[in-house]
Structure 1
Amino acid sequence: MITRLNSLAIIIASIIGIASCGNPTAQNRPAASAVPVNVQKVAKQNVVYHNEYPATVVALNEVELRSEVGGYITGISFKEGQKVKRGQRLYTLDQRKYTAAKAQAEANLKVAKANLEKAQKDADRYTALSEKDAIAKQQLDYALTELDNAKSRVAAAEADLVTANTNLRYSVITAPFDGTIGISNVRIGTFVSLGQTLLNTISSDNPMGVDFVIDEKELNKYLALEQSADNKEKSVFTIALPDKSLYGDAGEISVIDRAVDPQTGTIKIRLVFPNAQRKLRAGISATVRVLNENSGEQIMIPYKAVTEQMSENFVFVEDNGVVKQTRIELGKRIHEKVIVKSGLQVGQNIVVEGIQKLRDGVPVQAAFLEAGEKTARK
C-alpha cells in the first residue's frame, strides 16, 4: 500500500514539473520578489527658517539706588513697580542734621566774611601809614598776613556751605532717568549707611536689549548685517519668549561687543526691541531667531527617508522599479522635514516608507505619495 502511494506521488510531481516547464510565466518570474515601498517625487518648497540662539533680556540703562549720605528713611514717595520720571522724588532721609549743618555753614561763612572785611580795612590802613613811614614794616606784614588768612577762612566756609547744601540735597533720592522702579529693599525707619545700603533698582524699559553670543566664525556675517539695510527694514531678528510665543516686534543690532572671548571663542551681540507694552522684562530668558540667509525655494524631503552610515547621509532613489542608494548633504531640519543642500534633483523619486528592507539595486514595487505642504516654516 505504501509503495503504491509513493509511486503515485512521484507521478504527480513529474506532471507538475512538466507543466511548469511549459508555463512561460513561471519561467520568467524573478528570483527575488519586488519590495513594496512608498515613494515621493522630489520638489522644491518655499522654506522660511531661522538660526536660534539662547538669549537674555536686559535693560539698556539700569542703576542701583544707594544713598550718598547716612540716616533714617523718613519718606517713600513712589509705588513699587511703577514708571518714574527723571528727577522724581523717591526716598527722603531724616534731614534735621543736614538742615542744621547748612545753617551752621551759612553762619560760619557770614563770620568769615565779616573778618575778611575787617582784615581788608586794617591792611589798607597799615599800607597807607607804611607809605608815610608812620609804622613799623612788621606791623604791615602782620596785617597783610591776616588778610590772606581771612580770605582762606572765607574760602573754607564757602566750601563747607557747598558740602552742607550737597548733603541736604542728597538726603532726597530722586530718579536719575525715566524708567521702572522695583520693589523697595528698605522701609520707613530703616537706617541707611552711606554708599552701602541698596535701596532699590531702577531700569529703563523702552526699548529693551536682548543679549546673545555667537561663535567667532559667524562674526563677519553679523558685521555685514549690522551695516545692511536688512538689519532695520526686514524681520531678520525676532525672539521667542519663555512660553514659546513669538514677540510681536522685530529688533535690530544695537552693538557688537569690542572683543572675542579668547576662552570660549564667542562674542556678545546686543539687539534692541521696542517695548511699548512692557512685555519684555529684564532677566527674561528668550530665544533669538535670526532669519537664515538661505530661506526661499529649497529641496525638502521627509527626514524619515534619510539613512545614516559612517556619519554620511543617504536616500534611496527609485528609477524604473529599482532603487539606488544616493549620498546627500543635509541642511536645516524643520519639524519632520529636512533641507537637502546637494545630492538630489527636482523630479527624482525617493523612497520614504519601506526603506528598512532595501539595499542598493533591489527591485521595488513603488506607490506614490503626495509631496506634502508647499511651504514649511519654523
Structure 2
Amino acid sequence: MLFNNYSKTFILGALITTLVACSDTAEQAKAPVQKPLTPIDVAQVVYKPVQTWFTYTTRLEAPQQVALKPRVSGVVDTIEFVEGQKVKQGDLLFSLDPRPFVAEVERLQAQVMSAYAEHKQAQSEAARAVRLRKRDAISSEEAESRATTVKKSKAQIEGLKAQLVVAQLNLEFSKITAPIDGVISRAEITKGNTVNANQSTLTTIVSDQKMYAYFDIDERTWNRHFEQVQVSNNLPVVMQLVGADKYAHQGRVDFIDNQINTSTGTLRVRATFDDIENKLRSGAFARIRIASQEAKQQVLIPERAIGTDLKNSFVLVVDEQNTLQYRLITLGDRYGEFRAITSGLQASDTIAVNGPARVGPGMPIAPRNTQLNIDTVALTLGAQVDQPLLTAKQ
C-alpha cells in the first residue's frame, strides 16, 4: 500500500514537470526571433574649401609672330642661322648678293657730286649776273634765269640725295636681320634662289617669353559668375596641355573684349602664360580652367551615396539610434567621385556611404565606420597644379 502511494506521487510529479516543460516550450515558440542588424558602411561627411571653375579649350598663340620677307629683291647669298634655335632682335639671318646695291649707291653718290659741282657753277653765274645787271650789261630776264638755275640745281641735289638714301637702305636691307626675339623656324628659301621684295617668305619667327590663350565665355556664365571681374584683378587661370595629366601652367587674365559677339553670344577673354623655360609652343591645343570665386567651405560626399526620388536628391543619414533617416539635399559641383552639397547636410552628419541600394529610411543598422579619402581630388583651382586631373563637372 505504501508502495502504491509512493508510485502515484512520483507519477504525478513527473506529469507536472512535463506539463511545465511543455508550457515553457510553447511560450518560446510564440516569442519572435530577433534578426541580426545589417552591417552598413557609414562615414562622416567631408567639409573642405572648394571652388567652382569652368573649363574651355584653346590654341596657344605667340604675342609676336613674323613671316620674314625681304624688303628688296635679289639672290640669297648666305644663311646665317641654325634652324629651330633662338634668335635675338638684330641677329643676321640672311644676306642677299650685295653687288647690285653697292653699284647703285656708288652711281648715285657720283651723281650727287656732279650735281654739287653744277650747283656751284650756277651760283657763280648768278653772282656774276647780279654784278652785270648793276651796270645794265645784261637784261633782267637773263639775271632772273640764272637765279632760277641755282634753285633748280639745289633741288636736283636734294632729289639725288633722297635717291641715295633709298639706295643705301636697299643695301642695308640686303642684310636681313631678326625683327624680334624668338625661336626661328627652318629656311623656306635656300642659298642661290632669287627672292622678290615683300613676297617671298624666308622663314618664320615666334616670340617665346610668353604665350596667349584666347577662349570664349558664354554670356550667361559671364553675367552670373564673372560680371565684376576686371583686367586689373589679374584673375588666375591654370592650363593643361594635350597628353599631360596635370594643369601644370599658371597664368592670369590680361584681356577682356569690349563687346559680346552677337553671332555666338560669347565674350572673348585672353589669358597670358609666362614661358621663360620655352616649354610652350604656338598653336598647341590646351584646356583652360578659370575659377569664378574665392574658395569656400562646403560639405562633400561620394556620388554613390546619393539617391534620387522623382526630381529630388537625397541621402540616408545615421541618427543617434543607428537608424537611417531620409534627408533631402541640394547638389553642387562634382569633384572627381565626390559631390558638393549646398544644402541639407551639416559638417557633423554621418551618412550611408553606398546609398539606398540595400537599405531604406527607418531601417536600423549595424554601422561600420569608414573614412572618406579626398586627398587626391582637386577641390580648388590652385590645387590642380600639383594634383592629377580629376574633372569637376558642372
Q: 1:150 to 1:156 in 2, by over 3 A?
A: same
Aligned equivalent of 2:120, options 117, 121, 145? 117
Identify the residue that residue 306 of structure 1 maps to in structure 2: 306
The separation in 2 between residues aligned to 1:311 and 1:71, in whole angstroms, is 76
Query: Partner amino acid for 2:142?
Result: Q
Size of the aligned set, in residue pairs, is 352
1:177 paired with 2:209, answer no
Q: What is the DSSP-based 3-state SS (H/G/I as helix, E as strand, rest coil) of the residue aligned with 1:355? A: coil
Q: 1:194 to 1:20 in 2, by over 3 A?
A: farther
Query: Partner amino acid for 2:63?
Result: L
Identify the residue that residue 372 of structure 2 maps to in structure 1: 372
Could you tell me the TM-score, scaled by structure 1's length?
Answer: 0.81
1:224 paired with 2:248, answer no
Deviates more, 1:257-266 or 1:80-89: 257-266
The separation in 2 between residues aligned to 1:249 and 1:345, in whole angstroms, is 35
Query: Partner amino acid for 1:154?
Result: I
Identify the residue that residue 339 of structure 2 maps to in structure 1: 338
Q: Is the 8 A contact 2:116 2:157 kept in 1?
A: yes
The separation in 2 between residues aligned to 1:247 and 1:179, in whole angstroms, is 25
Unaligned runs of 5+ in 1: 1-17
1:272 paired with 2:272, answer yes
Q: Is the 8 A contact 1:45 1:375 kept in 2?
A: no
Q: What is the DSSP-based 3-state SS (H/G/I as helix, E as strand, rest coil) of the residue aligned with 1:183? A: coil
Identical residues among aligned pairs (%)? 29
1:213 paired with 2:216, answer yes
Q: What is the DSSP-based 3-state SS (H/G/I as helix, E as strand, rest coil) of the residue aligned with 2:202? A: strand
Q: 1:105 to 1:366 in 2, by over 3 A?
A: farther
The separation in 2 between residues aligned to 1:340 and 1:350, in whole angstroms, is 13
1:350 paired with 2:351, answer yes
Query: Partner amino acid for 2:222?
Result: E
What's the offset of the Cα at 1:325?
Answer: 4.5
Q: Is the 8 A contact 2:322 2:367 kept in 1?
A: no
Q: Is the 8 A contact 1:250 1:273 kept in 2?
A: yes
Residue pairs, 1:63-82, within 5 angstroms: 63-82=66-85
Residue pairs, 1:128-147, within 5 angstroms: 128-147=131-150
The separation in 2 between residues aligned to 1:57 and 1:68, in whole angstroms, is 29
Q: Is the 8 A contact 2:305 2:355 kept in 1?
A: no
Please tell me the root mean square deviation across aligned C-alpha atoms, in Å: 3.2
1:90 paired with 2:97, answer no
Could you tell me the TM-score, scaled by structure 2's length?
Answer: 0.78
1:261 paired with 2:261, answer yes
The separation in 1 between residues aligned to 2:377 and 2:371, in whole angstroms, is 16
- Larger relative contact order, structure 1 or 2 (CA cutoff 8 Å, min sep 6): 1
Query: Partner amino acid for 2:283?
Result: G
The separation in 1 between residues aligned to 2:228 and 2:133, in whole angstroms, is 79
Q: 1:367 to 1:187 in 2, by over 3 A?
A: same
Q: CA offsets per residue over residues 205-247 of structure 1, 9 Å max, x none?
A: 113333333234437738636434xx48xxx433222222446
Deviates more, 1:238-247 or 1:300-309: 238-247
Q: What is the DSSP-based 3-state SS (H/G/I as helix, E as strand, rest coil) of the residue aligned with 2:345? A: coil
Identify the residue that residue 25 of structure 1 maps to in structure 2: 32
Deviates more, 1:153-162 or 1:46-55: 46-55
Unaligned runs of 5+ in 2: 1-24, 379-394
Q: What is the DSSP-based 3-state SS (H/G/I as helix, E as strand, rest coil) of the residue aligned with 1:63? A: strand
Q: 1:152 to 1:293 in 2, by over 3 A?
A: same
Query: Partner amino acid for 1:218?
Result: W
Q: Is the 8 A contact 1:126 1:135 kept in 2?
A: yes
Q: 1:92 to 1:46 in 2, by over 3 A?
A: same
